[in-house]
Chain A
């Protein structure tokens, strides 16, 4: 997995609440058996007309946001389907950090597995970042995972929380499976005990 340490980039505002994973990547694009190549269809139905032309007023089609690396989003981002194609599409597009007042549980977990940092902040602070993002391409924010701080284009610093284990994995680009396999003795002894206690499983 790609490491996430410090990011300075353009933030795009998406204040709509309840953006679901069907919006992030519609099901017609779930038929690939690869992990890559989904970025071109990110937010497909919001971003493109049926004939493939761009919908001009969609935020990521505006010239100032085409290279956005941060999303400032409305409440309950990523709700709905568990499809990891959603964070795959987001990462493939080039977005590495999403800030919202809340995320759906599965999407939140999936993001960390793909080098994306989802940050939860109170409404007032999301409002500050949303206003900053609305300034356009001149507003470059900095997200520092080590320090757990976001710095706005005006120099305002906002601290955020992150789970220490998830932070460690992101900072070092660690693969969960190898980490878990180091604990295989625990898994085996659990299995041995469970086979006694619940042999019907």
Chain B
């Protein structure tokens, strides 16, 4: 038998039908659903008189629209349109009988944090959701990717997806990370190297010592942004770190089933000599804490750098850079550490987990954020929030001057009331710095949680290694 990649193995285990031209029906083990990309899909089912094929494999939670302020139980905190979407999900979840975490449930949170946290996401699974950041679940060695609403309807109706296999890409980060360098810096540095289209047509496997050394939270941060590099999905082979994270979670297998699962999970790695269509190798030691300067996640520079000029680029990127600089209100040659910020946003499916909360607390403990800075921390789920409170982190945040919010997507995409105003500049731990992403004409610099915390203290983009 020819050697296989991890992706090949998971793919092969899920092909329910293959047509002569290679078009496959890929069986889906977990379907995650949120309120923005599902109403039209449920409506489609209703109109065709169809049922959800496997409601026990379907998990729904509202996250994009929900307010994160403490008074959100009051319906008036939501706009009418948001309320209609959340109510539609309430209704659809009940009518079609899928698992559901309503806003009032402590387990509610960002769908990509809720899945792993409750043991829904397991190694070797196929996981989809009408959300591009589904790539997050690849951290478990699960094949996970975003789909459109038509595909959401297709999965609801058939538990399969019409797919052709992607190519295999290996991203290897060797050696060790230097102090102050985090998984967020690693994933941004990779996109800086490959570009936002560099992964198009591929499923990435992240290999190398840096990922082996990384926690599950860190691996989720890395895989989360695989989509920002254009890849269909990102994967990390499951190992003892994965098994330890999964073990004991509510929906993880128990007893004899755990043993059986573990036996299979331990076969999920890329065989010696398996073929990758594309390989990118980066030395872990070469990665520095990074920030984005522009309006594409590929616009990445070490914090020690300066704002580039359009002429530093080639082809269509020259015009794109010119447009980005104007939008961001930056001047070529300006030191990144001289850029003053108005706002700090810590949270999102990229960096809203407990480890991210701890990283922020480490930086801000016993300190105060700079006067005039608006700074909010939005935990990724009610459970993350509860744990952060139990560990005393919430107290640290509040004494430092941060707002400590309830769980949701919040200012990552600003569909709820958490938005930037025109020209407002934000250091954000989220995943996209697109024009208008965090609010009309808002300006986003993507950073790690530690770097966001440092920026909150100084009021400028800051090299966290220089603090103290």
A interface residue numbers (CB < 8 A to B): 15-18, 20, 22-23, 26-28, 30-35, 45, 50, 74-76, 79-84, 87, 102-106, 109-110, 113-114, 163-165, 176-177, 180-181, 183-184, 186-187, 190-191, 194, 197-201
Across the interface, do A82 and B197 meet the contact criterion of CB distance under 8 Å?
no
Q: B306: CB under 8 A from chain A? A: no
A-B contact count (CB 8 A): 183
Across the interface, do A177 and B154 meet the contact criterion of CB distance under 8 Å?
yes
Across the interface, do A27 and B323 meet the contact criterion of CB distance under 8 Å?
no
Q: B367: CB under 8 A from chain A? A: no
Across the interface, do A81 and B197 meet the contact criterion of CB distance under 8 Å?
no
- Which of A35, A76, A114, A183 lies in contact with B196, CB distance below 8 A? A76
User: What is the 8 Å Cβ interface bit string for chain B, positions 136-168, against chain A (1 contact, 0 not)?
Assistant: 000000000111111101100111101010100
User: In the complex the two chains form, what is the Cα distance from A177 to B148 in whole Å?
Assistant: 14
User: Could you name 29 residue pairs across A and B whose Cβ atoms are closer than 8 Å?
Assistant: A18-B196, A18-B320, A20-B432, A22-B434, A27-B437, A31-B82, A33-B88, A45-B440, A76-B197, A76-B200, A81-B413, A82-B147, A82-B148, A84-B40, A84-B150, A102-B200, A105-B200, A109-B151, A165-B21, A176-B154, A180-B154, A180-B160, A181-B158, A186-B17, A187-B16, A187-B159, A187-B160, A198-B124, A200-B260
User: In the complex the two chains form, what is the Cα distance from A200 to B65 in whole Å?
Assistant: 33
Across the interface, do B434 and A23 meet the contact criterion of CB distance under 8 Å?
yes
Across the interface, do B122 and A200 meet the contact criterion of CB distance under 8 Å?
yes
Across the interface, do B84 and A31 meet the contact criterion of CB distance under 8 Å?
yes
Q: Size band of the B side of the interface?
A: 35 or more
Inter-chain contacts of A190 with B (CB < 8 A): 16-17, 27
Closest A residue to B316 using CB positions: A17
User: In the complex the two chains form, what is the Cα distance from A24 to B57 in whole Å?
Assistant: 32
Inter-chain contacts of A15 with B (CB < 8 A): 316, 319
Q: B210: CB under 8 A from chain A? A: no
Please judge, given known A-B contacts A27-B415, A180-B158, A200-B122, whether A16 and B151 are in contact too, CB under 8 Å. Answer: no
Inter-chain contacts of A181 with B (CB < 8 A): 157-158
B interface residue numbers (CB < 8 A to A): 13, 16-17, 19, 21, 23, 25, 27, 29, 36-37, 39-40, 43, 48, 50, 57, 65, 79, 81-82, 84-85, 88, 122, 124-125, 130-132, 145-151, 153-154, 157-160, 162, 164, 166, 196-197, 200-201, 230-232, 253, 257-258, 260-261, 264, 296, 298, 315-317, 319-320, 323, 413-415, 432, 434-437, 440
Across the interface, do A30 and B440 meet the contact criterion of CB distance under 8 Å?
no
Inter-chain contacts of A105 with B (CB < 8 A): 166, 200-201, 230-232
Inter-chain contacts of B154 with A (CB < 8 A): 176-177, 180
User: In the complex the two chains form, what is the Cα distance from A163 to B19 in whole Å?
Assistant: 13
Across the interface, do B149 and A84 meet the contact criterion of CB distance under 8 Å?
yes
Inter-chain contacts of B85 with A (CB < 8 A): 31, 33
Across the interface, do A106 and B147 meet the contact criterion of CB distance under 8 Å?
yes
Across the interface, do B230 and A75 meet the contact criterion of CB distance under 8 Å?
no
Inter-chain contacts of B13 with A (CB < 8 A): 198
User: In the complex the two chains form, what is the Cα distance from A138 to B166 in whole Å?
Assistant: 40
Closest A residue to B125 using CB positions: A201
Across the interface, do A33 and B84 meet the contact criterion of CB distance under 8 Å?
yes
Inter-chain contacts of B81 with A (CB < 8 A): 31-32
Closest B residue to A113 using CB positions: B150
